[in-house]
Amino acid sequence: MARMPRRPARPARAGGATVAWTYLRLAVLVEIQYRVNLVVQLLQSAVEVGTALAVLTLVFSHTTDLGGWSHDELLVVLGLHVLLGGLIATFVQPNMSRLMADVREGTLDFALLKPVDTQLLVSCREVNVWQLADVVIGVAIAGTGVARVGAVDAAGALGFAVAVVCGTVLVYCTWLVVTTGAFWLVRMDFVAELFDGLYQAGRWPVTIYPGWLRLSLTVLVPLAFAVTVPAQALTGRLTGVTLAAAVAFTGVVVVVTRWWWGRGIRRYDGASA
């Protein structure tokens, strides 16, 4: 046992959680310099949510029931949709945009060189913190709906917790899978537009859509698991089978995403190539 190391000691490898936390904190600090953006964001959210509520009112002025869901139950769906949309816009979308830009411009080198897991790193470099306004608004709407429906018990709450974690992970995976396509196709901006368009379909429970569309919204864009299943948990209509399916599907998607990301990153040539 040598007393003195022959080489300078390698810097301790920071744990993934520490790195992620540091990056997230930095990103938030950068963003909160631009405080006027909060006002702009609040205005925008108010307009969007106001429109959505107006549409809901309009629909229920012509009917009392939409595919087996009442007005208050659809408030829960809408609230969760806004909430999840806020989470995506805060944490997922800005990171994926930056990843696409990095692949296009070759600056992903800087992320690859760092001694942490690259997938972790590229997923926590940006936080669009003002979009959290949507998360707050979403919670308020969903909370109102839940209180009015009054059908949630302990099992439902637990089911909701599991379902909402699965849903969030699934949406993140979908984004990452699509963004990883940039390693082959370079220009993927339009896919973000496509996702935004399809995400709007999640404002309504996927059970109202015709079969082929419901299947796409379950498997291709996991809106069923992301919004409808958590909403089912909060309105007392979630079955154990559905929940188990959500957990299993999430597990499969996580593994596939990890594998696909690995393939993508091996395709990457770097800036100087």
Partner 1 sequence: MSAAGLELPPASPGRRRRLRVSPGLYYTVAKASVVTQFQYRAANYFYMVGMVAEPIVYLVVWTTVAEAQGGSVGGITPGEFAAYYIVWTLVRNMNIVLTPYAWEERIRQGRMSGELLRPVHPIHYDIAFFAGWKIPVILMWLPVGGLLALLFRPSTDIRPLELAVFFVAIWGAYLIRTMFMWVLGLLTFWTTRVSAIFEAWFTAELLLSGRLVPMSLMPDWVRTLAAFTPFPSSFGFPIESLVGDLSTGELLRGLAVQAGWIAVGAGVVALTWRFAVRRYSAVGN
Shortest separation between residue 69's beta carbon and partner 1, angstroms? 10
Backbone angles phi, psi at 154, to 5 degrees: -60, -45
Q: What angle do CA 248, 249, 251 make, to 5 degrees?
A: 65
Choice between 31 and 250, CB closer to partner 1 = 31
CA distance 129 to 86: 10
Contact between 34 and partner 1 (CB under 8 A)? no
User: Residue 69: beta bridge partners?
Assistant: 66
CA distance 263 to 241: 33
**Is residue 203 within 8 Å of residue 77, measured between CB atoms?**
yes
Q: Which stretch binds partner 1 (CB under 8 A): 19-27, 52-60, 99-107, 222-230?
A: 52-60
Phi/psi region, residue 255 (left: phi>0; alpha: psi -120 to 50; beta: rest), is alpha
Shortest separation between residue 210's beta carbon and partner 1, angstroms? 7
CA atoms within 13 A on the CB side of 102: 22
Identified binder of partner 1 from the candidate list 116, 136, 178, 191, rule CB under 8 A: 191
Choice between 107 and 200, CB closer to partner 1 = 200
Q: Which stretch binds partner 1 (CB under 8 A): 9-17, 56-64, 101-109, 119-127?
A: 56-64
Identified binder of partner 1 from the candidate list 59, 155, 161, 248, rule CB under 8 A: 59
Residues at the interface with partner 1 (CB under 8 A): 40, 43-44, 47, 50-51, 54-55, 58-59, 61-63, 65-67, 187, 190-191, 193-194, 196-198, 200-201, 203-204, 208-210, 213
